[in-house]
Amino acid sequence: MNHFSPLTHGRAVFLDFETVDFDNDLDRSPLSNLVPHLEFFDNTTDAQLADRLLNAEIILTNSVGINASMISNNPHLKFIGLTATGFNHIDIEAAKEHAVAVTNLKDYCTQSVVQHAFSGFLSLNQKLNYYHSAVKSGQWNPRGLGPIRELQNLTMGIIGHGVLGSAMQDFALKLGMRVMVAAHPDKPASPGELPLDEVLMRSDVLSLHIPLNDRTRGLLNETKLRLMRPHAILINVARGAVVDNDALARVLRDGHLGGAFIDVFDREPPPVNHPLVSLDLPNVIVSPHMAWGSFEARQRAINELAANLASFYRGKRRLRVV
């Protein structure tokens, strides 16, 4: 890779590299070759943030929030690069006002998310948690959690039919499932899409792939959740607040749903008394926002971040929010 030297005033920092590089398993050279003096920090607390941003021209981060005052207090800042698709944690309007470029990633973790989502769904459909606990406790023929269903007899409903939703559809069809796509709450219905309520009422498994915004926040409230079939399984690998977490806990506790696989929460990290974390039910599986976290997807994130930064150096627009 060609070497670039665009910095005129200051620092380049990666604020939370450990959130991408779980076990020191990634090749960071695409970034360090581009910016040899890039400072890698494992994590950055609120108390450390001001010092680490001082005189920074380039900020790289996965999930550290950058607000308006941080942007305005660092006049040399030119570039904020994210190893994520979502950019809710960056004050985009402030970045625009101060001519700071913000780049995100697209399509870097599709396979990883689909694998994770289906792993959770299949574990619940096969009752693996339930049977594991039963055998460990000495039960050999446990009953009471409903039948295992063969996939060719099941219908998957998908809310959000972008890259991830389309990939989920393709995988489900390859496994012999039927698929219904709900009309996106933010967009006019496309041919073949069905009203949301119809998809909720007819799906055996429902998979969420929509972004979080003012229109999708709390989209699946208690009324919507209770439209779902009592045996249905909910998968959320999108954003936690798309679902009313308290309502989902109540519906699961009431036995109305067949199960839920939750990778994202309305508060992250969730407290131990979070309504979904504290549910002690064999038909609920939670994971720590890890659907994106395969080795290949994480390395791809570093490579794509470096490509975004190199493009910015050349004065070109690649994957850029502002």
Respond yes or no: is residue 18 known to be catalytic.
no
Quote the CA–CA distance of 29 and 21 in Å, as a whole number: 13
The single residue of 93, 97, 268, 296 carrying the catalytic annotation is 268
Question: CA torsion angle for 236, 238, 242, 246 (degrees, to 10)?
Answer: 40
Respond yes or no: is residue 274 known to be catalytic.
no
Identify whether the C-beta of residue 208 lies closer than 8 Å to the C-beta of residue 232.
no
Respond yes or no: is residue 296 known to be catalytic.
no
Dihedral of alpha carbons 289, 294, 298, 304, sign: negative
Quote the CA–CA distance of 255 and 266 in Å, as a whole number: 22
The single residue of 161, 184, 239, 274 carrying the catalytic annotation is 239
The single residue of 11, 161, 184, 289 carrying the catalytic annotation is 289
What are the CB-based long-range contacts (under 8 Å, 24+) for 266-271? Answer: 266/240, 266/241, 267/240, 268/240
Residue 212 CB contacts under 8 Å (≥ 6 apart), including other chains: 86, 88, 238, 239, 241, 242
Q: Which residues are catalytic?
A: 239, 268, 289
